[in-house]
Amino acid sequence: MEHPARLSRPLLLAASVVVLVVLCALSIMVGSKAIPLPEVYSALVHPTGGETEAIVRGLRLPRTLLGLFAGIALGLAGALMQGLTRNPLADPGLLGVSAGAGFAVALAVLALGLTSFSTYIWFAFAGALGASVAVYLLGSAGRGGASPVKLALAGVAVLALLTSLTTGVLMLDGNALYVFRYWAVGSLTGHDTGLVVSMLPFLVAGVVLALAVAPALNSLALGDDVATALGRRVGLVRLGGVLAVTLLAGTVAAVVGPIVFIGLVIPHLARAITGPDHRWLFPFAMVLAPSLVLAADILGRVVARPGEIGVGVVTAFLGAPFFIALIRRRRLAEL
């Protein structure tokens, strides 16, 4: 007979999807002007023009879709990074991946005058990949090689450096710096549906790659030698994982900015439900992460009404205590 915990996974996943759907509806309904659900439905299904339709279709729908896609990408990227590195502190924001993408985009916009997402997204990928390599090399230096705490410290150092360099570059252009202020806090506002749709091919490619390497990560968790003995091509698995993280985190960082701690917190929550099996861990991360992003975005609108707090600020406030608790659990001997 199958274990009861395994039988409950599909039910818990279905319940999580229901919660996500409810949060999507609330994300469209809640704001400086509350819109009842029947009016939201009418604006989406039977558009006739008017202020309500403009708010729903022009502002809140793109924002909700962006939060949904960004959450899926960040949750999956975090789970993938933790599985690849066997590092419970791995996160695209903390390890500088998002900051690398942002720095490369800032350089592309200012030096080359690029303004289209379809052009500067490639610089975001290059920056994300470069930051990942830099963090791994720094975290692997010295006695004992790479360890979770050393990689986390290297990530924080690279993150601080890249953020400072990005700010310095943007100081050369006052208008760019003004725009960067909103990007730096991680915001879902100011984007239209066309931009959100243009992200999809890159995100879909990242999701497909991540799901393709998920079974191999279970073997990789036992060590590279064991994974090789089980027939896994470890180098190919790591390459696919790095490419997936680059696509997922780079795309989100280029559009939304650095939303930290989502990729750190969600895999731990998902692992508490599913156990270490990445074939279940990834789907739960893809549902729980957008739920947290949308909940944080809604909270940011409610607590500062009629203004709002950027979703990146809210997630940082919620995730910082979790990160501190994880750090305290690591042995100081790893430093």
Asked if the model's pLDDT at residue 2 lies above 50, the reply is no
The type of residue at 246 is T
Asked if the model's pLDDT at residue 178 lies above 70, the reply is no
User: What burial class does residue 308 get, using C-beta atoms within 10 Å of its C-beta: 0-12 exposed, 13-18 middle, 19+ buried?
Assistant: buried
pLDDT per position as a tens digit, 37-85: 999 989 888 888 788 888 898 889 999 999 999 999 999 999 998 888 8
Cβ-proximal residues to 34 (8 Å cutoff; 6+ apart), any chain: none
Relative orientation angle of helices 193-220 and 117-140, to the nearest 10 degrees: 30
User: What value does the mean pLDDT of the chain take?
Assistant: 83
204-226: average pLDDT: 87
Band (pLDDT 50/70/90 cuts) for residue 332 is: very low
CATH numbers and ranges of domains, the chain: 63-334 (1.10.3470.10)
Q: Quick one: DSSP state of residue 56?
A: I
Band (pLDDT 50/70/90 cuts) for residue 139 is: confident
Report which of 333, 335, 290 is spatially closest to residue 315, judged by C-alpha positions. 290
Cβ-proximal residues to 335 (8 Å cutoff; 6+ apart), any chain: 149, 150, 153
Q: Which two tokens stand for residue 62?
A: 């793109």
pLDDT (0 to 100) of residue 295? 94
Token pair 């910082």 is found at 320
pLDDT per position as a tens digit, 92-113: 877 788 888 888 888 887 777 7
Q: Which two tokens stand for residue 44?
A: 């989406």
* Cα 125 to chain centroid, rounded: 14
Report which of 256, 244, 320, 217 is spatially closest to residue 76, judged by C-alpha positions. 244
Q: Distance (Å, rounded) from C-alpha 70 to C-alpha 199?
A: 10
pLDDT per position as a tens digit, 228-238: 887 788 788 88
pLDDT (0 to 100) of residue 65? 94
Q: Does the CA dihedral 276-279-285-287 come out positive or negative? A: negative
